[in-house]
Amino acid sequence: MDTIQSDSYPIFFDDSLSELITFIKQGKYSRTFVLTDENTSAQCLPVLEPLLAELDNYDLIEINAGEESKNIDFCVGVWKMLIDFGADRKALMVNLGGGVVTDLGGFVASTYKRGIDFVQVPTTLLSQVDASVGGKTGVDMDGIKNIIGTFTQPKAVFMSAAFLKTLPERQILSGLAEMLKHGLICDADYWKELKNSDLSLPSVELIYRSVEIKNAVVIEDPQEKSIRKALNFGHTIGHAVETNSILNDERPLTHGEAIAIGMICEAWLSHKKAGLPKEHLHEISTVLNGLYPKYPVPDTCHNVLYELMQKDKKNTEKQINCTLLTKIGCFSIDNICTEDELCASLRYYAAL
């Protein structure tokens, strides 16, 4: 399987973990820091450690697992560890984990001494097909996702299916939502292929295609001025549902579960406003509703969800902009949706 070339950096698939060690050795870094969370320390570090042993030295930094750790306090913790270890400008940070570790680690590295090198080793399906490609780094604040961050490219990304073996099924499904999204916005054949596959552990070939799609989009529009907005399909409503769930539920939705809800709602908006044929809407709702557990979004929470959408960083001047589909495989950006339309789409989902 070929290495995918992104803007300024390679994304390795074949033999990627030995490529990682080669990369570190050739980079002549003064020091290597491996950032993990509790779970990736336990599950993923053992996969990497025999290879890391080839290095002269490396240091481990661990954060707590979960979205609640993706905040500025944990950044301060990691920055201070780097200071204590005496990390200089030629240090390297290896982010070994899901999107929380790759986003936070990328932000910390991009701001430590005004930027040190970092590489991403995504260990969840979601971070492989989405978070580790595109150069967005960041953390949450005041319940707003990714509100503080930078656009900074890693020096390389290393994809390994080995990590997915220990990943809980719910996390597989979470990443799958983004893969389905890639099909819906850009590639009807890929959508069809996914729909007909065994999705309990997606094949490397399917992952590869998702990375190709995401990469092609972000290369064309690194700063999210235009077509990169395609990737927001399902995310205007999905992000609000996710944030609300994190704030209120004992066992919050995963990102993918929330985005699946968002995609159903936004498919309905697509049908109403952007010409998505009725059969396509039905196909999308049926597939997504079949894969993901049903989640209550009663009318009483529409208010809160709408406020969260307004606070969302994608919306300028309080207007809610959605990316919609014109048909399966084709998107349309910057569709202004009213509060009434958004609430109606939530009702469509609730009534399925």
Ligand X SMILES: NC(=O)c1ccc[n+]([C@@H]2O[C@H](COP(=O)([O-])OP(=O)(O)OC[C@H]3O[C@@H](n4cnc5c(N)ncnc54)[C@H](O)[C@@H]3O)[C@@H](O)[C@H]2O)c1
Positions annotated as catalytic residues are 114, 136, 178, 214, 224, 228, 232, 235, 239, 255
Task: Check if the beta carbon of residue 258 is closer than 8 Å to that of residue 239.
Answer: yes
Q: Which of 78, 81, 98, 186 is close enough to bind ligand X by CB under 6 A?
A: 98
Instruction: In whole angstroms, give the CA distance from residue 237 to residue 122.
Output: 26
Q: Which has the closest alpha carbon to 257: 237, 271, 276?
A: 237
CB nearer its own copies, residue 107 or residue 348: 107
Determine, following the binding rule CB under 6 A, whether residue 100 of this chain makes contact with ligand X. yes
Q: Which of 255, 261, 324, 325 is close enough to bind ligand X by CB under 6 A?
A: 255
CB nearer its own copies, residue 80 or residue 294: 80
Give the x/- contact pattern for ligand X in 107-126, rule: CB under 6 A: ----------------xx-x
76 binds, among ligand X, its own copies, none (CB under 5 to 8 A by kind): its own copies
Task: Check if the beta carbon of residue 201 is closer than 8 Å to that of residue 164.
Answer: yes
Least distance to ligand X, CB of residue 123, Å: 4
C-alpha torsion sign, points 260, 124, 8, 315: positive
- For β-strands 144-148 and 139-141, DSSP reports them as antiparallel
CB nearer ligand X, residue 65 or residue 324: 65
- HSE, CB side, 13 Å, CA atoms: give it for residue 110: 21
Q: Which has the closest alpha carbon to 115: 147, 97, 137?
A: 137
User: What does residue 7 show for φ and ψ, rounded to 5 degrees?
Assistant: -40, -65
Q: Which has the closest alpha carbon to 78: 67, 70, 90?
A: 70
Determine, following the binding rule CB under 6 A, whether residue 202 of this chain makes contact with ligand X. no
Task: Check if the beta carbon of residue 114 is closer than 8 Å to that of residue 139.
Answer: no
Q: Which of residues 58-87 bind ligand X (CB under 6 A)?
A: 65-67, 70
Determine, following the binding rule CB under 6 A, whether residue 103 of this chain makes contact with ligand X. yes
Q: Which of residues 148-187 bind its own copies (CB under 8 A)?
A: 148-151
Instruction: In whole angstroms, give the CA distance from residue 118 to residue 123.
Output: 16
Q: Which of residues 56-115 bind its own copies (CB under 8 A)?
A: 72, 76, 79-80, 83, 86, 88-90, 107, 110-115
Give the x/- contact pattern for ligand X in 153-192, rule: CB under 6 A: ----------x--xx---x--x------------------
Count other C-beta atoms under 10 Å from residue 290's C-beta. Answer: 8
Give the x/- contact pattern for its own copies in 14-53, rule: CB under 8 A: ----------------x-----------------------
Q: Which residues, in sequence order, are bridge partners of residue 197? A: none
Cβ contacts of residue 306 below 8 Å, gap of 6+? Answer: 240, 339, 342, 343
Least distance to its own copies, CB of residue 321, Å: 11
Q: How many residues bind ligand X (CB under 6 A)?
A: 31
Instruction: In whole angstroms, give the CA distance from residue 246 to residue 297.
Output: 14
Q: Which of residues 114-133 bind its own copies (CB under 8 A)?
A: 114-115
Which residues of this chain interact with ligand X, rule CB under 6 A? 37, 39-40, 43-44, 65-67, 70, 97-101, 103, 123-124, 126-127, 130-131, 134, 136, 145-146, 163, 166-167, 171, 174, 255
